[in-house]
Structure 1
Amino acid sequence: MSTSTTTARHRWAVASRVAAAAFGGYALASAATVLMALLWPATRAQALLWASMLSFAVYGMAVIWVFCTRNAWRAWAGVVLATAVLAVPAWVLTTGGGA
């Protein structure tokens, strides 16, 4: 395998991780915000405020985790799976699961 092929593969892997951190991390933070706002035992405004503030920590942890995984596939899989785990209960709580 030539050096240029290895370099190109590495660059695509890093670009994929950056995309997973930016877009996947945003989706994960958004799903976490919605779920936390729905479950927080306070008024709607306060629940949304606290959930929004905590979402910055969730986003930061997602970005760190994406770059700590062994490869880009695991980074994407983890972000997508975690987003689904948070989004499904939020969807069930908002629509009653019957939409």
Structure 2
Amino acid sequence: MKAQVFSWPMLSRVVAAIFAGYLFTYAFTAALAQLLPGEPRAAMTIATWPAFVVYPLVILWAFACTRVRLVWSGLLLASGALLIIGFWPHLMRAWS
């Protein structure tokens, strides 16, 4: 029996893990930097530290999830919410 070499769901998980995972980590870092007290530069530096743990965990979750659709929807919805939190002050200044 011949082994299956290519799989669209696996490729989708790889793309979700790498690119959507990076977007999620970026949004998480931006949101955390907005929520931390203190000087913005110091908050951004401190918010970057957990990203080294969050990104590998997101990659692991993308492959542990039972459905590819759940991976994509979870990452994109969570990233959208975190991006709104992280960039809300910038959006308000741009709209004013």
TM over 0.5, shorter chain = yes
Aligned pairs for 1:19-98 within 5 A: 19-96=15-92
TM-superposed CA distance for 1:97, in Å, is 7.6
Identity of matched residues, %: 28
Q: Who is 2:11 aligned against?
A: 15
TM-superposed CA distance for 1:98, in Å, is 6.4
Aligned length in residues: 95
Could you report, residue by residue, the CA deviation over 1:7-65 in whole angstroms, capped at 9, with x for unpaired residues? 36x62111110100000010001111111111111222211111111112221221111
Cα RMSD between the aligned structures? 2.2
Structure 1 segments (4+ residues) deviating >4 Å? none
- Code of the residue aligned with 1:32 in structure 2: it is F
- Relative CO higher for 1 or 2, CA cutoff 8 Å, sep ≥ 6? 2
- Code of the residue aligned with 2:39 in structure 1: it is T
Q: Could you say which structure has the higher helix fraction? A: 1
Residue 68 to residue 98, structure 1, CA distance change in 2 (3 Å): same
List alignment gaps of at least 5 residues for structure 2: none
List alignment gaps of at least 5 residues for structure 1: none
- Code of the residue aligned with 1:63 in structure 2: it is I
Partner Cα distance (1:92, 1:46) in 2: 19
3-state SS of the aligned residue for 1:25? Answer: helix
